Amino acid sequence: MSSYQNIDIKSIIERCRALLYPEYLGDGGAAQHIAKALQSDLEEAVATSFDMAGKSGDAAAIAQGFISALPQLRQMLLKDVKATYNGDPAAESIAEVVLCYPGIRAITSYRIAHALLLAGVPILPRIITEFAHSQTGIDIHPAASIGESFAIDHGTGVVIGATSILGNNVKLYQGVTLGAKSFPLDADGNPVKGIARHPILEDNVIVYSNATILGRVTIGHDATIGGNIWITEDVAPCARVVQSPKKYF
């Protein structure tokens, strides 16, 4: 059986980033060389993933398809970068956002991994997002569905579960958890896999730091969830959910 021992996951991710952000991470006229090296390494990683998962798939076709789809992926990510830049008064340039912001690094890895997951690749997408998790403290499952212009401010401690669905223009702050409330068990007492168990956030939702949203609940469009809030029920569109003010004597 193949293993990942000789596969450099970091190089795969960094070559993807160089092609997705050539203005800041590329190497002049070396894009064609980078793409060729990426395709070769990705083909090997995909083949290894199929082998280790006991599945079959056309690694060469998947790698080629991924390379061909990079321009579309870039357009999606540029919207994430712009949303992050526009939403943070501390950001002084697009270059700063691309090079320095952990949210963009994690979102970039998520979008790479999600594309591979949609292509039917096992294991590798999760390795890619867990690599970003180790770098940024942001844990996004590659199976989550996330719309355009997504922003994560600061980001440490953010968790987005596998069946989460996020619309367009969603913004999360540090410590936000989009998790499962409970796990239905099968006849043997093991958690049932593959069921929808994480939140849905509609368009233009903002969730502030350390809020926890659990279960298959829907946060309606344009809603604002304040910091340190615990939510296990649906929230209406345009609602504002905050803690009650405390009085000190």
Do 153 and 134 reside in the same domain of the chain? no
Do 11 and 105 reside in the same domain of the chain? yes
Lowest mean pLDDT among 98-107, 111-120, 204-213, 237-246: 237-246
Do 127 and 229 reside in the same domain of the chain? no
Backbone dihedral region for residue 54 (phi beyond 0: left; psi -120 to 50: alpha; all else: beta): left
Do 134 and 158 reside in the same domain of the chain? no
pLDDT of residue 6: 76
Do 96 and 79 reside in the same domain of the chain? yes
Do 127 and 209 reside in the same domain of the chain? no
C-alpha span between 225 and 16 (Å, rounded):
34
| pLDDT (average), residues 94-122 | 98
pLDDT in tens, 140-176: 999 999 999 999 999 999 999 999 999 999 999 999 9
Q: Domain total for the chain? A: 2
| pLDDT (average), residues 125-151 | 98
Half-sphere exposure of 232 (CA within 13 A, CB side): 3
Do 14 and 132 reside in the same domain of the chain? yes
The boundaries of the domain holding residue 148 are: 144-249
Best CA proximity match to 137, nearest among 174, 84, 83, 91: 174
Radius of gyration of the chain (CA): 19
Contact 132, 124 (CB under 8 A): no
Q: Which DSSP category does 173 fall into?
A: E
In the chain, the percentage of residues whose pLDDT exceeds 70 is 97
pLDDT of residue 100: 97
Give how far the C-alpha of residue 202 lies from the chain's centroid of Cα atoms, to the nearest Å. Answer: 16
pLDDT of residue 2: 67
Q: Which of 117, 138, 159 is the last residue of a domain?
A: 138
Best CA proximity match to 222, nearest among 211, 234, 208, 238: 238
| pLDDT (average), residues 69-82 | 98
Q: Give the residue ranges of DSSP H helices in the chain.
A: 9-20, 22-25, 31-53, 59-87, 94-100, 102-118, 124-136
For the cut 80, the answer to whether the pLDDT of residue 246 exceeds it is no
Is residue 2 assigned to a domain?
no
The structure tokens listed for 144 are: 């989550």
Q: How confident is the model at residue 137 (pLDDT cuts 50, 70, 90)?
A: very high
Best CA proximity match to 39, nearest among 20, 14, 64: 64
> At residue 103, what is the residue type?
G
pLDDT of residue 143: 98
In the chain, the percentage of residues whose pLDDT exceeds 90 is 86
Contact 99, 45 (CB under 8 A): no
pLDDT of residue 248: 63
The CATH number given to whatever domain includes residue 173 is 2.160.10.10
Q: How confident is the model at residue 124 (pLDDT cuts 50, 70, 90)?
A: very high
Lowest mean pLDDT among 4-8, 73-77, 180-184, 208-212: 4-8
| pLDDT (average), residues 89-94 | 97
pLDDT of residue 244: 78
pLDDT of residue 191: 85
